Every structure is written in structure tokens, then in C-alpha cells.
Structure 1
Amino acid sequence: MTTVEEHLNRRRHILLELGFATRRVGDELHGSATISPEMHVPGTDHLRTSVLAIWLDTMGGLLASLVLHPRVPMTLELDVNLFGPAPGSGEVHAVGRTVKAGRSVFVAEIEFSVDDVPIGFGATSFMAAPNPDVQLPRKLSIDMPPRGPRLSLPLAERARCERREPGVAVLPRTEDGLNAAGTVNGGLLALAAEEAVLSLGPSNGLSFLGLRYLQAARVGPVVATAAVRHGVGRVELRDSGQDDRITTLATTRTFER
């Protein structure tokens, strides 16, 4: 049996370095973290939308885990919508709520603010992993303070996500970037999609980032290929080590600089 903790303990997990902590408040899940320059859109002082996607996926997954435990929740879809370019400093606060807890699909909604000013919202859906041998630990990472060192490199560099050419970003499969099922973390796939779009021209980041997870990225590297027209982007993410099978489809909209 493989647990989340076993994967996280193999090497310091990239997502833990973002310093995001969660706690239960009644039926809600609250999360918080301090923005650092390493989380910025390159060349700007704005928080990456993919960082919010990572935290959205984290919070939604924890809410789903409370229902699906000990089965591991798998992300089906997520989207982040911002009212304007995100601030580059301050304290992010997120509030997550369960929208639907059905037999086959779980849906959560999250609202984001920085220093008590609303900046956007998102939603995400999950299903239970089909492999019953992959299970969650008894204790989830809720009501636990952030542990260990914080991000000391720009996020894309830390994740080894490289812009190969305009419109193309490559994300390797690394032990410190896996999810509980041992495949590439869905939040890091959001980062790869964002990098592919940002490589096509300067912007203040993404006003919208939506992802549909079609199948797991098991081998890697994952290649994200983006096309943008009038600010709207479409990104295909393929597992190059698995016959270039498409793993994720992403849709984006950029803030003009």
C-alpha cells in the first residue's frame, strides 16, 4: 500500500515549500500562505495564477478526502478566475466549501482574498482513484502548521519546468513533484500550462486558468503546447514517455501588460 506520506517523505515535496496551511472551521476549510517573490509571474510583481490553482487543488482534495477517505481523490477538473492581476505580496486567505458530495463525483468551491481583499474564486471536482491499494494516511494535513524550508527558487525553476521554445514548456516527472498515486501532481501540470502560455509574450499573468485532467501523467516528461489568439489560450499537455498520450487540456485568458 502506498500513502501520501511515503511519497512526500522520499524527498522534500515542491508544494510543501509554498508554505500553505489549512484548518477546519465548521463545515469549511480555511487555508493561508504568505506570497513571496519566488511565486511571481516572471518579470512582474504579481502572484502566479498556477499557485492559486495548486492551492485550489490542495484544498479541494482535502475536502474530498474527508468524504472519500481512505480512497485517494483524483482531480477531474479545476478552474481559477481572477478579478484582476493578483498582488505580489501579502497574506493569501482561501475559504473552501463542499458543493456536492455524490457517490461518484465530489465538487468544491474556493474563494481567494489577499489581506482581506477578494481577488478571485475557483472550483474543482474529484473522483476516487480506481486502485483501492493506493490509500490516504490516517491523518490528513489539516490543522498542521507549515513545515520545513520555504521556496528559495522561482517556482518554475524549482519544478524544473523549462520553456523549450515559444509556446512549449516541458515538465519532468520527479519524486518531489508526485501526487498520492505516484503520478505527476495536477497543480504542477497547471504550472506547465501557464508557462507554455506565458512563453508566447509578456503579460501580467492569467485571468483564467481551467484544466481538464483526462488521464494520469505517469512517465514524463510532460510537454505543454500552447496556442493563443486574442488573449485566449488552448494548451495540450502530453506524456512524452507514454506515447505522447494527452493527459490534460487547459484553457487560459491573459491579463494584458
Structure 2
Amino acid sequence: MVTDRGEPPASLIEELGFATRRAGEGLHGTAEVLPAMHVPGAPHLRTSILATWADILTGLLATQVMAPRVPVTLELDVQLYRPAPADGTVEGIAEVVKVGRSVFVAGVAFTSAGGRPLAIANASFMTAPDPGLTLPPALGVELPARKERLAEPFAERAGCRRRRCGVAVLPRSENGLNASGTVNGGLIALVAEEAVLSLAPGDSLCSLGLRYLQPARVGPVVATARLRDGLAQVELRDSGTDRLTGIATARTFSGAHRT
């Protein structure tokens, strides 16, 4: 299926408008912050979107080492210096940290308007266990921003909803899958963030760390968070298989300011 411009429909992640290009041995990424990317009730870019952009940049670097095998994210964390902006442009520079026999590690430095430091992120990858999963032979690392942009709030667009305080649910959808056919790691970050923010209305996250334990193949993904003194623990389960798919830790800005 293609659009009337001859392009395939944008995936949910592509609607975030992140463009990438080479920057020496690393990668440069940039995107415009839109209101649909804001934390509910607060004029700040979602930390889960920064996590998604970090996953894109570091994942593209990983493909250059692991191709034709598909890299899968093991760990991903984002740490913010200050609440993210409500508008303007966010840029990220990703660089390789380590290339090991089984694990690849890369880091990202994010800046906002005027080159002001915004956040740092790190991610590690391994190859997908299934050797039958391979990357397209012509896959490149320079990706233009798609014209289709996020037109409704990120969580609503993803179908992510808060079931009750401390619990958020994310359905599996065809436009939210990664190269291995499982739920995209950025959307896992979103449901974890939503579970935490349901316990801290109007706040945003100053840190988010994820450990991906099992791929989420069936869904919905259910995130259950506990929050104390601004520090949260999150359990992520694929309810379709009743398996623990990941764990996360997060800290809110209000909690960080109390410490």
C-alpha cells in the first residue's frame, strides 16, 4: 500500500518527524517539537519521545555493525538536565561507545534551541536470536523526515490508555512494530511513562531507564508502576503471553527537586 505521493504510509514512529544524517563517524538527528508530543497537562516534550529518538539513532548505528542480522535493544536510558521544551527543534548526536562480540553500545547527546544541552542517552543492542530475521540489503542510516506528522496526542495515536492510577495499557498495532515484528521499544517507553505519570499528574520525567527482557509479540503490553518520593519502578508484561517483557525505572522532576 502506498500514499498518493507514491510513498508507503508512515508508521507511528515515523510520524514523530525525526530526520537523520551522517555526522562524521556518528549520526545527527533532528525534529521539531509539536503540541501532540507534549506530556498531558504540561508544556514539555515527552521523555518517552526522546527515548524513541535515541533508540532510532543508536539502532541505526547498530545496523552498520550487525547487518544483515537485526539488532534488538537490550537497555535504553535517558537522563534530562531540565524539563524538555514545548516547541522549537531538538537535535541529537549519536556516537559508538563500544563494539563487542555480542553487544553493541552507543550514546546520544541531545540539545535544544541554541545548542543548549537537554539530555543524554545510552543504549545497548544484541542481534535477534532468530537468524532468519535479516535487514533489507539497501538499508541506510540517513532518513528524511516524513511529511505525515503526528496530528493527535502521542498516547492517543498509539492507543495507549491509563487503566487506573499506576497502570497503563498499550495494544499491539501493525504500525507500531519494529524490524523483528514485535512492539517498538519507543512505544514500550511510552506505556511505562504513562503508568508513572498517572501517579504524578502534570509532572514529567527527568529520567527513564528500560531493560528489555523479552520481546512483546502479542500484546497488549501492560505497565504497572509504583512511585515513592519521585522514584518509580515499572513492570512491563505482554498480557497475550503473560510474560514479563521488561522493567523500567523513572524519576519525576518534582521528585528530583525534592532530593
Which piece of structure 1 moves more, 194-203 or 103-112? 194-203
Structure 1 residues 73-108: Cα deviation after superposition (integer angstroms, max 9, x where no partner): 000001000011111111110000000011100000
Counterpart secondary structure, 1:256: helix
1:226 to partner: Cα distance: 0.3
Structure 1 residues 205-229: Cα deviation after superposition (integer angstroms, max 9, x where no partner): 1000000000000100010000000
1:120 to partner: Cα distance: 1.0
Counterpart secondary structure, 2:13: helix
1:141 to partner: Cα distance: 4.6
Paired position in structure 1 for 2:136? 137
- The gaps in structure 2 that reach 5 residues or longer are 1-6
Q: Matched residues in 2 for 1:139 and 1:16: separation?
A: 18
Whether 1:26 aligns to 2:4 is no
Kindly provide the amino acid, as one letter, of the partner of residue 233 in structure 1.
Answer: A
Q: Is the 8 A contact 1:203 1:256 kept in 2?
A: no
Q: Matched residues in 2 for 1:207 and 1:81: separation?
A: 6
TM-score by length of structure 2 reads: 0.93
1:134 to partner: Cα distance: 1.1
Q: Matched residues in 2 for 1:229 and 1:140: separation?
A: 44
* CA RMSD, Structure 1 to Structure 2 (Å): 1.3
Paired position in structure 1 for 2:201? 202
Whether 1:229 aligns to 2:235 is no
Q: Matched residues in 2 for 1:171 and 1:32: separation?
A: 26
Paired position in structure 2 for 1:166? 165
Paired position in structure 2 for 1:220? 219
Paired position in structure 2 for 1:125? 124
- Identical pairs, percent: 59
TM-score by length of structure 1 reads: 0.94
Which of 238, 243, 247 is 1:245 aligned to? 243
Paired position in structure 1 for 2:4? none
Whether 1:95 aligns to 2:93 is yes
Q: Is the 8 A contact 2:66 2:127 kept in 1?
A: yes
- The gaps in structure 1 that reach 5 residues or longer are 1-7
Structure 1 residues 163-200: Cα deviation after superposition (integer angstroms, max 9, x where no partner): 00000000000000001000111110000000000011
Which piece of structure 1 moves more, 202-211 or 226-235? 202-211
1:139 to partner: Cα distance: 2.6
Q: Matched residues in 2 for 1:65 and 1:112: separation?
A: 21
Kindly provide the amino acid, as one letter, of the partner of residue 199 in structure 1.
Answer: S
Kindly provide the amino acid, as one letter, of the partner of residue 214 in structure 1.
Answer: L
Structure 1 residues 41-88: Cα deviation after superposition (integer angstroms, max 9, x where no partner): 001110000000000111110000000011110000010000111111
Counterpart secondary structure, 1:194: helix
Paired position in structure 2 for 1:148? 147
1:147 to partner: Cα distance: 1.9
Kindly provide the amino acid, as one letter, of the partner of residue 220 in structure 2.
Answer: P
Q: Is the 8 A contact 1:21 1:142 kept in 2?
A: no
Q: Is the 8 A contact 1:73 1:127 kept in 2?
A: yes
Paired position in structure 2 for 1:14? 12
Which of 71, 77, 80 is 1:79 aligned to? 77
Counterpart secondary structure, 2:254: coil
Q: Matched residues in 2 for 1:144 and 1:165: separation?
A: 38
Q: Matched residues in 2 for 1:33 and 1:102: separation?
A: 31
